A and B are shown apart, each in its own frame.
Chain A
Amino acid sequence: MKLKSIHLKDFRLFYGEHKLDFSQETNSPITLFIGENGSGKTTLMNAIHWVLTDKCTERLSESDKLVNKDALRENRRECWVKLEIIDDQGRLIEISRSKTADHSHSSLRAHEIKDGNFNSLHVDDATFLSRFFPPTLAQWFIFDGEALGGMNLSGDTRFKAELQQAFGFDSLEVLKSDFSALIKHYEGEESKKKNNARLDELSLLIEQSERFLEISKISLEKIETEYIDKKRLEEAYRKDLTKLTPSSDFQRTKDKADEKIKGLDRRIEEKVVLRANLIGESSYALVLDGALNKLNSVFTIKTQTSSLPSPFQERLIDDIVKSERCICGTPVFEGSSEFENLQSLLSQASTTVLNQRIQEVRTKLTALQISADKFPSHWEELNKDIFSLIAEQAEERQKSEHAAEQIRKIDVSAVRKTESDRAEAERLRDQALTNKGQINGQIARAEEDLKKYLAERATLLQTLKRDAVIVSKLNKLESLKDYLDSEIHRQEKEVLSVLSDVLSDVINKYLTKNFRVAVKESNYRVDIFDSDGSPAPLSTGEWVLVKLAFVATMVGMAAKRTKVSSVNWISDPVVAPLVLDAPFSVLDSEYRVSTAKNLAEQVQQLVLMTSKDPWAGLMPELQSKIGKTYVIQSLAKGPPKDIEKILEIYGRTYKMNFYECERDESRIIEVSR
């Protein structure tokens, strides 16, 4: 398929009608569109995509809003796009699609244009377009630079299936299954003629097994796709969660700080109690301190001068009473006045208790003085401790408040929802994996059974007299089927080998690395090896180059434009143009030229959208490959701004943006050399 022209009306940015032709030159296959960001390059790419698939690309914003806003204001509620293509038979076909703004009405029409006449073609949305361009392959032919990042060459069931479709192997598989059906038919006929119950039974079992296997393999494919989708989704949610700050970390910090605050509270309380006790116990010692010093001095002097009561005075009086004679010689008899005086003196002179009390009082005095002396240092120490604990607590309080604030800032509901979505994706992924395992098991068992049935039937048939005519037909069909199988296998090997060689060539030539590419047969995974045969790492930019080269090679091989070797196709690969929107934006600048050259060499037709700046570096290399050039200009209603962009091309100057226009819209003008 090749694109001839596109005619669109009121499609998104494009107000009114716009018609452009694509380059049809074999040696200048590139149709170039140069426009700045927001000018409409992606819209134009999507116009092509939309006509062919009824969908816009994933990255297009507000993809449900198709009708131009100014057209809507003027009550034009429908947009359309007409795409003229040349199919593989050389027929000129116009495919047109329309849709109303509210999506209530849409249409798809097709006409073959022959000798100026428009002959209507029967259009069945589901299958009509697949003849020219399988919608499932749209991502391989029409994409923007950013999509390259998501393009996956790591090999999975869907990847392989799409490539097989692109290479046209699917149609060969259909042919194979037609052969299988015929074989089954003749085998069934033969079984009926044999009238052998076991043979009939085996035929039925074989048919059931084959049907079961067919259905199971389709289910397996779906489950594998489901598994990959859910795995990617779960990974995407997981990535989103890492961006959403988890509240759990802050909660942990807060809990730890709160725990410390509680502990510090207890310690502060203990110290505060000790402080209160200390001042209480020391209070009178402090108050009396000066006075006690003086008292102590007096006690000391009295002790030194023996002025304190002597314990011997009591003994003396006791002796006088016992001896009934005073030391002065006066008799002291019991009952006499002298005796009474002495008794009175005794009671007054008794010093035991007094001395005891003096001793206790002096002991207390010393204790109070010591208490007063020690008080300042104890007091200071306690206050220091309390202050330090309070300061530590204040710090922890700050930490706790900061964590609480962070928790408040986190949109907990968003985190919860994302986590819930992630968990659900994980559950579905695991479920798909389990189902895959189960189905694989069932398939293995069914294949085993089928082998047994086929072997038993073959053995049984050998023992029975067979219908020669049917046997002959069966043998031919089996041979054809085997031949087709081997040819498909051969073609697949050849295609993958050429693909590997071309990609290796690209890497060596454009990345200047001595690496080798191998496309694995089982899943079409693209592996890169260094000269030692070890897996070689490529940077993100280098992978983008490889991906673009992969697509270009795939497309080029299908169009029989590969330089390495031509594949001897027995299938009909999908031949379609490449429509690329800003592919160089994601490429390292050093690879842009080589990529562009490689693309131009490989593809049959290339529609290339780019902005001004990358183009400047590429022009010298690609100029000779360009068949048509268009500039997309941005028209704006508003007042002039300082931003004015100018494009110099083919010796002429073109403005890229205009102000004070009637409306916001894009305009496409063809520029010629």
Chain B
Amino acid sequence: MSTELFSDDYNIYWPAEYENVVNYLTASDSVSGAKVFTTNMEVIVFAASVGLREDLKPQFDYKELKEISIRTFLRQRKKDSLAEVIYLICLCDSIQQDENTDIDLMRNAEGEKRAIHLFQRFAAGGLSYLNEEYISRPKKDRYRFVYEIASEYLASESKFLNAKAVESSKDKKSEASLRNTPLDFNIG
């Protein structure tokens, strides 16, 4: 049996109706060229993380789907691999359900399939959440968009105390006005 995290070339699917928000999060800033997420895969992992925390795992019966190969998750360099996060999300969910880790998800092909399916549901749920945020919040930089969502899930107050203080003390507009260039605050 392969010692790879996944024994087969699976595809991870995500609903095409959320393509806008995925494109938004993978686009470059029009002035600086800065990117928050380089690939759709990273967005899906982020979305699945959000789906887990929001407990959003809708039934996966979407008409139109986009796919990402598991190879993308595995990546060329092991340390950059995000395939583990698929399992981590599922394991976290199992703890939330019955205080026990469902190790069997990682045991065999059947477990792998279950893990992928669950991951997809969380990803879809997370994408719907991000999409709502994308539509409802005023247009802002991508980095701020992701930061504000991520920082809502503080594990402990102290970790982000300084970061939040730095952020709130600054007049968010003053950075743009000081620069007087649309470098960072355009959603292009």
Contact = CB atoms under 8 A, between A and B. Distances in A.
Interface of A: 265, 268-269, 272-273, 275-277, 279-280, 282-284, 286-295, 298-299, 302, 308-309, 347-348, 350, 352-354, 356-358, 360-361, 363-365, 367-368, 372-373, 375-377, 379-380, 383-384, 386-387, 390-391, 393-394, 397
Contacts of B81: 364
B170 A387 contact: yes
A212 B33 CA distance: 83
B146 A295 contact: no
Contacts of B95: 291, 294-295, 298
B135 interface: no
A380 B166 contact: yes
Given A361-B88, A365-B88, A393-B178, A283 B46 contact: yes
A394 B180 CA distance: 9
Interface in B62-90: 79, 81-82, 84-85, 87-89
Contacts of B34: 269, 272-273, 275-277
* Residue of A272, A287, A353 most packed against chain B (CB within 10 A): A287
18 contacts: A272-B34, A272-B143, A279-B147, A280-B36, A280-B143, A282-B150, A284-B45, A289-B153, A295-B91, A309-B103, A353-B3, A372-B159, A380-B163, A383-B167, A383-B170, A384-B166, A390-B179, A394-B178
* Residue of A284, A299, A364 most packed against chain B (CB within 10 A): A284
A354 B50 CA distance: 27
A272 B45 contact: no
Main secondary structure of the interface of B (DSSP, over half): helix
A272 B32 contact: yes
Interface in B19-50: 29, 31-38, 42, 45-46, 48-50
* Residue of A273, A348, A352, A361 most packed against chain B (CB within 10 A): A361
B107 interface: yes
B162 A377 contact: yes
A288 B91 contact: no
Contact of B84 (A287, A360, A376): A360
Contacts of A380: 162-163, 166
A302 to B, nearest CB: 7
B94 to A, nearest CB: 9
Interface string B134-152: 0000000011001101110
Contacts of A394: 178-180
B166 A279 contact: no
Nearest to B96: A291
Contacts of B49: 283-284, 287-288
Given A272-B29, A293-B155, A299-B101, A353 B175 contact: no
B88 A376 contact: no
Interface residues of B, number: 66
A352 B146 CA distance: 38
Contacts of B97: none
Contacts of B7: 353
A282 B183 CA distance: 23
B53 A288 contact: yes
A146 to B, nearest CB: 53
A360 B33 CA distance: 34
A127 to B, nearest CB: 76
B180 A397 contact: yes
A302 B101 contact: yes
Contacts of B160: 376
A347 B108 CA distance: 9
A287 B153 contact: yes
A273 B36 CA distance: 8
Given A290-B154, A299-B101, A353-B2, 17 more contacts: A269-B32, A272-B183, A273-B32, A273-B35, A276-B29, A276-B32, A276-B35, A280-B38, A284-B46, A287-B150, A295-B92, A298-B101, A309-B103, A352-B3, A358-B103, A368-B85, A386-B175
B52 interface: yes
Given A295-B91, A353-B3, A384-B166, A279 B46 contact: no
Contacts of B180: 394, 397
B163 to A, nearest CB: 4
A288 B52 contact: yes
A275 B141 CA distance: 12
A269 B181 CA distance: 12
Given A361-B88, A361-B106, A269 B183 contact: yes
B146 A354 contact: no
Given A295-B92, A397-B180, A357 B87 contact: yes
A279 B143 contact: yes
A298 to B, nearest CB: 5
A292 B88 contact: yes
Contacts of B142: 276
B187 interface: no
Given A269-B32, A275-B143, A353-B2, A390 B150 contact: no
B65 to A, nearest CB: 22
A189 to B, nearest CB: 97
Nearest to A351: B107
A410 B179 CA distance: 28
Contact of A280 (B79, B85, B103, B146): B146
Nearest to A274: B34
Given A269-B33, A360-B5, A283 B150 contact: yes
A340 to B, nearest CB: 18
Nearest to B167: A383
Contacts of A391: 178
A273 B92 contact: no
Given A277-B35, A280-B146, A268 B163 contact: no
Nearest to B91: A295
A218 to B, nearest CB: 69
Nearest 9 A/B pairs, CB to CB = A364-B84, A276-B34, A287-B49, A289-B155, A286-B150, A291-B92, A280-B36, A290-B155, A284-B49
A292 to B, nearest CB: 7
* Residue of A286, A292, A309 most packed against chain B (CB within 10 A): A286
Given A373-B159, A397-B180, A287 B167 contact: no
